[in-house]
Structure 1
Amino acid sequence: MASAATAARSADPPPGPDELQDCSAGLRLYPANRALIDPELMSVMPVLTGMDRGPGGGATTPSSIVETRQRLKELTKGRPAPPPMPGVRMEERHIPGLAGAPPVRVLVYTPEDAGAARPGVIEIHGGAFVLGAADGGDARNRQLAKDLGAVIVSVDYRLAPENPFPAQIDDVYAALTWLHDQAAALGVDPARLAVTGGSAGGALAASLALRARDEGKIAIKGQFLIYPSLDDRPFTALDPTCRPGAAPVERAYVMYLGHPPGPDNVSPYAFAARAPSLAGLPPAFIAVGSVDGLAGQDIAYARRLIAAGVPTELHVYPGAFHGFDMAANAGVTKRSYQDLLAAMRRALR
């Protein structure tokens, strides 16, 4: 029998139109109602609240992007580097870009005791296609290399607006090609390759899986997408505090594509949800928070993958927002990492 409290909650009427937030100022990556958030994640909200206006946060014009990049550098300047993780070495390399493109900087993380034929993973950083660098995932990539016994190649792809699409997908495809072709020298098994990334990096990982399928030269064993941004078209977020209606065009997407998003001819190598068919893609792992503004499109993409016959594992973490894993000690962050690790081990064994 339901308790009185449960009965009272079930009898509450849904919020009326006048009680809902106008979320038309931008895609909300974080809910307006903070009560929906896992309390363990609240410690990182001050760092992330500047991103509430959209995937690029305050970086919505070319000049503000330069300022944001400089501010991020200032925040990290002077901080002591973390101690090297025993058993993992990191090497910076500059590898050939695709024909006519500049070299691509990559960071290669290699476990020292994982045998001669390790799995290889392309890791792609986030940052709304306009921010970020391979170095930002250093601690996580070291941990993943050690726990998975794999070579992790983190890619410093070119950023918009200076380098609009397809520079980003070209650079990560160049890195995948290099990892495959240099597998023997890197101690990697070319039959056990995977791609992963978070946010914009998840978008590029999904598009990289599509491009590898279409090119037909490199087989990928798994795509591991962390709260990926998969669709440029307007959509309604799942945030129950928002009035129904489509989110507006994001300025970061405009700078990434080089034109306003939304037209029919946007390439699936820019946003994977644009692909007419997902058949033949490698097994997918998708993780997103229930209060992440991207949850709706991530769930929709998972459903399309399943309908196309692609083995798909979807995790929707209660109370988690975009970038929740910045709270390294939160229970949901630890669970999500273990879920990711287990899925990678199954795909790459």
Structure 2
Amino acid sequence: MTMDKTPRFIDRHVPFQPAATTGIPHQYHDVPYAPGARHTLDIYLPNDGVAPFPVVIDVYGGGLYFGQKSSHKLNPALQLRSAGYAIVSPDYSLSYQQPFPTQISELKAAIRFVRAKAALYGLDPNRIALMGESSGAHLAVLTAASETVGQLDRGLGNHLGVSAAVSAVIASYGPYQFDQFSAQFDLLKITPKFRETGQADSFEGVMFGGHAPAQIKDQITAADPAHYLTAKMPPLLLTAGTADQVVPYVQSFNLAASAMTVMGTDQVQLHLVDGAHHGPADFMTADIVAERVAFLNRWLD
């Protein structure tokens, strides 16, 4: 029998690849949004237009185990600059630095900072959206959903009197049902990329302190954005690829179905991209960019 030599997700070497920010004339780096490590953000303004600019705060993915601000995973968000959107890239704690759901409080602190200091950077405090990919999509949706019900906020930062609400969320190929990976891949007849999927040493297991997700039902429920959905949830654009071997695309379908039930079909868009894999590469096409711009223009106008 041949042994599977594919490295575990957490054992991979993932070097930093910078975002394509060369030539952007107006950018700010390492701006502290709260005290403490990994609590800084970068800001990239559009080349053209008149401030204040609407804002997209982009949350990078990496299984809560890899990643940092202004990496190549920011490139899909940077495509929106040409449509007049300012892009903000915040850092947050990885799962081995601070336990989940600390990251939700960090992102809410970043939103409050952006809103409180908007005038300083030419940003519109009343037009802020969240965007995320992979685990960043999960964080983005959970941040927005939990804010509408006043949960998962530890009061980080210096602007606690400022709202952390957003006007729209774009989430691409995110994980939302952390105990369903193996069963859903079996249902879809897709072989998962990582052999440890569903186990304690999977990225989703490490995220929950080294426990197999199926064994910690209460924590899994508390991490599912669907648990917090109300009619106050901001409009949601979900995308995923049907060839995704990291996160079953049906998780985006299921979240969309739950959101439509609670929020109404007009507030939720789902785009399943035929043959698309996990990661930014298949989600930077002209039609996807146009879809995102139209969505933002509609809800941030």
Bigger-Rg structure (1/2): 1
2:189 is matched with 240
AA partner of residue 272 (structure 1): P
Aligned-residue identity in percent? 24
AA partner of residue 168 (structure 2): G
1:84 is matched with 22
The two structures have a TM-score, normalised by structure 1, of 0.69
1:153 is matched with 88
Does structure 2 retain, via aligned residues, the 8 Å contact 1:278–1:304?
A: no
AA partner of residue 78 (structure 2): R
The two structures have a TM-score, normalised by structure 2, of 0.79
1:119 is matched with 54
Work out the CA distance in 2 between the residues paired with 1:121 and 1:82. Answer: 17
Q: Would you say 1:144 and 2:95 are equivalent positions?
A: no
Work out the CA distance in 2 between the residues paired with 1:278 and 1:182. Answer: 29
Work out the CA distance in 2 between the residues paired with 1:150 and 1:241. Answer: 37
Task: Give 1:197 shift.
Answer: 0.4
Task: Indicate how the Cα distance of structure 1 residues 241 and 284 shifts in structure 2: closer, same or farther if over 3 A, else same.
Answer: closer
2:32 is matched with 95
Does structure 1 retain, via aligned residues, the 8 Å contact 2:145–2:225?
A: yes
Does structure 2 retain, via aligned residues, the 8 Å contact 1:96–1:103?
A: no
Q: Would you say 1:206 and 2:141 are equivalent positions?
A: yes
Task: Give 1:335 shift.
Answer: 2.2
1:316 maps to which of 272, 282, 298: 272
AA partner of residue 55 (structure 2): G
Task: Give 1:236 shift.
Answer: 1.4
Work out the CA distance in 2 between the residues paired with 1:103 and 1:160. Answer: 12
The CA deviation string for residues 267-322 of structure 1, in whole angstroms up to 9 with x for no partner, is: 6674324x154432000000111222421111000000000024101001111121
Task: Indicate how the Cα distance of structure 1 residues 82 and 108 shifts in structure 2: closer, same or farther if over 3 A, else same.
Answer: closer
1:337 maps to which of 270, 284, 289: 289
Q: Would you say 1:258 and 2:194 are equivalent positions?
A: no
The CA deviation string for residues 81-118 of structure 1, in whole angstroms up to 9 with x for no partner, is: 857345x52211332437xx546121111124322222
Does structure 2 retain, via aligned residues, the 8 Å contact 1:287–1:336?
A: no
Does structure 2 retain, via aligned residues, the 8 Å contact 1:96–1:102?
A: no
Task: Give 1:166 shift.
Answer: 2.4
Task: Indicate how the Cα distance of structure 1 residues 94 and 276 shifts in structure 2: closer, same or farther if over 3 A, else same.
Answer: closer
2:66 is matched with 131
Does structure 1 retain, via aligned residues, the 8 Å contact 2:148–2:233?
A: yes
Does structure 1 retain, via aligned residues, the 8 Å contact 2:146–2:225?
A: no
Work out the CA distance in 2 between the residues paired with 1:242 and 1:154. Answer: 33
Q: Which runs of 5+ in 2 are unaligned?
A: 152-162
2:174 maps to which of 204, 210, 228: 228
Please state whether the residue corresponding to 2:252 is helix, strand or coil: helix
Does structure 2 retain, via aligned residues, the 8 Å contact 1:208–1:269?
A: no
AA partner of residue 315 (structure 1): H
Q: Which runs of 5+ in 1 are unaligned?
A: 1-24, 26-49
Task: Give 1:157 shift.
Answer: 1.0
Work out the CA distance in 1 between the residues paired with 2:41 and 2:109. Answer: 11
The CA deviation string for residues 256-275 of structure 1, in whole angstroms up to 9 with x for no partner, is: 222422423216674324x1
Work out the CA distance in 2 between the residues paired with 1:300 and 1:205. Answer: 17
Work out the CA distance in 2 between the residues paired with 1:173 and 1:267. Answer: 21
1:303 maps to which of 245, 257, 262: 257
Does structure 2 retain, via aligned residues, the 8 Å contact 1:196–1:202?
A: yes
Does structure 2 retain, via aligned residues, the 8 Å contact 1:169–1:270?
A: no
Please state whether the residue corresponding to 2:288 is helix, strand or coil: helix
Task: Give 1:148 shift.
Answer: 2.8
Please state whether the residue corresponding to 1:176 is helix, strand or coil: helix
AA partner of residue 89 (structure 2): S
C-alpha RMSD of the superposition: 2.9
Task: Indicate how the Cα distance of structure 1 residues 175 and 218 shifts in structure 2: closer, same or farther if over 3 A, else same.
Answer: closer
AA partner of residue 316 (structure 1): L
